[in-house]
Structure 1
Amino acid sequence: MDHHSMSTMDMSSMSDSSSSSSSSSMTMSMVFTNTHDTPLFSSAWTPSSSGVYAGTCIFLIVLAIIDRCLIAFKAIMERHWLAAHLNRRYVAIAGKTSEAGRIDADPDAKTASLITAQGVEENVKVVRNISHGPIPWRFSVDVPRAALFLCIAGVSYLLMLAVMTMNVGYFCSVLAGAFLGELAVGRYIHWNEHAH
């Protein structure tokens, strides 16, 4: 065997070993660990002590709470945008009392009282447009909606990456933050879902 073939074999074996070592370093741990030096998001964020590890866990709790708050805020804004689209209008009912104006041809109308700029209280009817199709595209609505969804998706993916480290502390921190966030603002999310 000549020198050229031996060097070729050495190079191939070196490339095989380097590729196997790089692939083994890139494989993700598939079992839970409780080490305190698990990197989060980058190698620069590697806890070096128990205090830094605890701070990282607190950060993940807060991030999970923020995630639920963003979802609740989007749900509230969706209700606001829908109400604006339905175009609530107050129409004065001349010469009618609240009792007489309560029953009208519009089944979606409700009677209420409205105080005008002059301070005069008038009997009014709340009229809402009924829309059966999707809300038309509007720059002032759909751009903020997309931006909110972008923030929610970004935070959710960061939380997913933290869970995928398979670190028990990170995993429990994300769960604790999700629980606290749902406890604080979950009613706004589900209230908006039931309102439709």
Structure 2
Amino acid sequence: MDMSSSNSDSMSSMSMPMVFTTSHHTPLYGNGWTPSSGGGYAGTCIFLVILAIFLRLLFAGKAILEQKWSIAARDRRYVRVQGRTTEAGRIDQDPDAKDGALITVNGVEENVKVVQARMGFTPFRLSVDVPRAALTTLIAAVAYLLMLAVMTYNVGYFLSVLLGVFLGELAVGRYAQSDDHVH
């Protein structure tokens, strides 16, 4: 047996096509997921559409959570000061003071102090950074799965991913927009 022909046979069965194909028997993520019929191929394409929509949902969910975490961080800037007498409290204790509400430069006087952040970013918080890291990892995993589907060079898989991205963006794209200037 000629070794060169056996090597070329094994190489051709292992290499990926470098041109787009319309084959309905293209494996997805491994030989175990190879559609054997038109219905199986359609089901695989529908799965890819749903996976791409899920990716857009993850992006939108992350943007919503980032906004929620930002609001919570901004709200944590206000710290209640124990034992601090407010201007309103001093007026109540002074018998010579006139009745009325006290509004200061900081608004209505209360037992709070505004704490300014020293750095341009929020400090590490386990309750925020762990979910953020997990969500980002999930987004990367789904994006890589979609990338692998596109890398099969199957036209149906490619168009299914694009359709899923379009539908997902159409459904929830407005939530994934982050504008730092909107408060």
Q: TM-score, normalised by structure 2?
A: 0.75
Structure 1: runs of 5+ lacking an equivalent: 1-9, 112-122
Task: Pick one of 64, 67, 90 that aligns with 1:76.
Answer: 64
Task: Pick one of 166, 170, 179 that aligns with 1:179.
Answer: 166
Cα distance in 1 for residues equivalent to 2:45 and 2:87: 60
**Aligned: 1:163 with 2:154:** no
Matched AA of 1:55:
G
Identity %: 56
Structure 2: runs of 5+ lacking an equivalent: 81-85, 89-99
Cα distance in 2 for residues equivalent to 1:63 and 1:131: 41
* Corresponding residue of 2:35: 47
CA deviation string 1:13-55 (max 9, x = no partner): 52x4443333322222111111111111111111111111111
Equivalences for 1:16-165 in 2 at 5 Å?
Answer: 16-86=4-74, 87=76, 89=78, 95-96=100-101, 104-105=105-106, 129=116, 132-165=119-152
| Equivalent pair of 2:79/2:115 in contact (CA under 8 Å) | no
Residue 143 (structure 1) shift = 0.9
Cα distance in 2 for residues equivalent to 1:25 and 1:155: 27
Cα distance in 2 for residues equivalent to 1:193 and 1:161: 33
Q: TM-score, normalised by structure 1?
A: 0.71
* Corresponding residue of 1:5: none
Matched AA of 2:171:
A
SS of 2:131's equivalent?
Answer: helix
Q: Kindly tell me the number of residue pairs found equivalent between the two proteins.
A: 166
Residue 78 (structure 1) shift = 1.1
CA deviation string 1:100-125 (max 9, x = no partner): 67xx34xxx7x8xxxxxxxxxxx9x9
| Equivalent pair of 1:76/1:192 in contact (CA under 8 Å) | no
Cα distance in 2 for residues equivalent to 1:184 and 1:167: 26
Cα distance in 1 for residues equivalent to 2:79 and 2:124: 25
Matched AA of 1:60:
L
Matched AA of 1:69:
L
Cα distance in 2 for residues equivalent to 1:18 and 1:51: 35
Evaluate the alpha carbon distance shift between residue 170 and residue 128 of structure 1 in structure 2; reply closer, same or farther with a 3 A threshold.
farther
Cα distance in 1 for residues equivalent to 2:32 and 2:22: 19
SS of 1:136's equivalent?
Answer: coil
